[in-house]
């Protein structure tokens, strides 16, 4: 059943099913209508955002208002969000970033009374993902999709990964129990601390990603996993492009 849904969503091909012959896969393929779940989700989120006074959320989500639109940074890139939920930027924009920013706006608005009353980012404090609301339920997925892939990247190419992190806007921190600690704002109100302990004799390498306790007021637990997955993919793409770039004279 999960495989069938993956085919319908365009994430898998019938030819990948070991139970079907080539002829059967071709015969069934003509009757399947694939849907792009990402575009459907974007449309749904935009409908919800249209009912939100988006321009009143500027400071609450760390955005500026320019020409009747919100202007905000995400992973070092500028984006604009119109009152109807349309998202634009210079260059290519992925469905991932659209979904993420729309989630960010929707969740912030849902928690607006708390955010304005408490000013949750005022005090710097850091917690693990499992300490966030519903984080314990998704903790295994978070480790598998976020911390483990980041550890593998740092293990294999620490110098170049750090260069990529610097391009994404990290700030080196010296107040954590490792020499490899960085602060990064994945979204204006969602800062994270990235901690890396290289392998030492008798001890394996380790990565820990910490959040401000208010992170779950701006994104729910599932969206935070989605955010970290996209962040890791971003690093992988930049590493790949760096390797493809011709060396200078």
Mapping DSSP onto H, E and C, the string for the chain reads CHHHHHHHCCCCCHHHCCCCCHHHHHHHHCCCCCCCHHHHHHHHHHHHHHCCCHHHHCHHHCCEEECCEEEEEECCEEEEECCCCCEECCCCCCHHHHHHHHHHHHHHHHCHHHHHHHCCCCCCCCEEHHHCCCHHHHHHHHHHHHHHHHHHHHHHCHHHHHHHHHHCCCEECCCCCCCEEEEEEEECCEEEEEEEECCECCECCEEEEEECHHHHHCCCHHHHHHHHHHHHHHHHHHHHHHHHCCCCC
Predicted local distance difference test score (pLDDT) of residue 202: 87
Task: Indicate if 166 and 76 belong to the same structural domain.
Answer: no
Task: Indicate if 16 and 46 belong to the same structural domain.
Answer: no
Predicted local distance difference test score (pLDDT) of residue 148: 97
Task: Indicate if 218 and 134 belong to the same structural domain.
Answer: yes
CA distance 226 to 224: 5
Domain final residue pick, 110, 143, 160: 110
Q: For the chain, what's the residue count?
A: 249
Structurally, the chain folds into a number of domains equal to 3
Task: Indicate if 43 and 27 belong to the same structural domain.
Answer: no
Task: Indicate if 190 and 223 belong to the same structural domain.
Answer: yes
CATH number at residue 156: 3.30.310
Low-confidence ranges of the chain (pLDDT < 70): 1-14, 28-36, 120-123, 247-249
Task: Indicate if 91 and 42 belong to the same structural domain.
Answer: yes
Task: Indicate if 153 and 224 belong to the same structural domain.
Answer: yes
Task: Indicate if 27 and 45 belong to the same structural domain.
Answer: no
236-248 burial, b if ≥16 CB within 10 A, otherwise e? eebbeeeeeeeee
Predicted local distance difference test score (pLDDT) of residue 3: 59
Predicted local distance difference test score (pLDDT) of residue 161: 97
Task: Indicate if 176 and 70 belong to the same structural domain.
Answer: no
Domain final residue pick, 54, 80, 110: 110
pTM: 0.82
Task: Indicate if 56 and 156 belong to the same structural domain.
Answer: no
195 found inside a domain: yes
121 found inside a domain: no
Task: Indicate if 28 and 43 belong to the same structural domain.
Answer: no
Taking only the tens place, the pLDDT of each residue in 106-116 is: 999 999 999 98
Domain of 142?
A: 127-244
Domain final residue pick, 110, 145, 171: 110
Task: Indicate if 19 and 45 belong to the same structural domain.
Answer: no
């Amino acid at each position: 059943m999960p495989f069938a849904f993956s085919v319908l969503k365009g994430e898998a091909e019938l030819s990948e099913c070991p139970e079907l012959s080539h002829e059967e896969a071709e015969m069934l393929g003509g009757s399947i209508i694939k849907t792009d779940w990402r575009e459907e989700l974007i449309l749904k989120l935009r409908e919800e955002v249209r009912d939100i006074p988006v321009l009143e959320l500027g400071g609450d989500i760390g955005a500026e208002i320019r020409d009747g639109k919100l202007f905000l940074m995400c992973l070092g890139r500028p984006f604009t969000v119109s009152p109807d939920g349309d998202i634009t930027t210079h260059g290519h924009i992925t469905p991932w970033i659209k979904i993420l920013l729309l989630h960010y706006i929707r969740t912030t608005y849902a928690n607006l009374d708390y955010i304005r009353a408490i000013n949750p980012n005022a005090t710097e404090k850091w917690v693990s993902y499992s300490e966030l609301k519903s984080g314990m339920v998704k903790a295994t997925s978070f480790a598998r999709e976020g911390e483990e892939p980041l550890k593998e990247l740092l293990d294999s190419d620490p110098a170049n990964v750090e260069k990529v992190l610097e391009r994404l806007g990290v700030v080196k921190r010296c107040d954590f129990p490792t020499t490899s600690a960085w602060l990064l704002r994945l979204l204006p109100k969602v800062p994270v601390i990235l901690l890396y302990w290289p392998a030492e004799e008798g001890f394996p390498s380790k990565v820990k990603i910490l959040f401000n306790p208010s992170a779950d007021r701006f994104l729910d637990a599932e969206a935070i996993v989605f955010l970290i997955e996209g962040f890791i993919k971003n690093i992988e793409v930049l590493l790949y492009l760096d390797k493809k770039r011709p060396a200078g004279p």
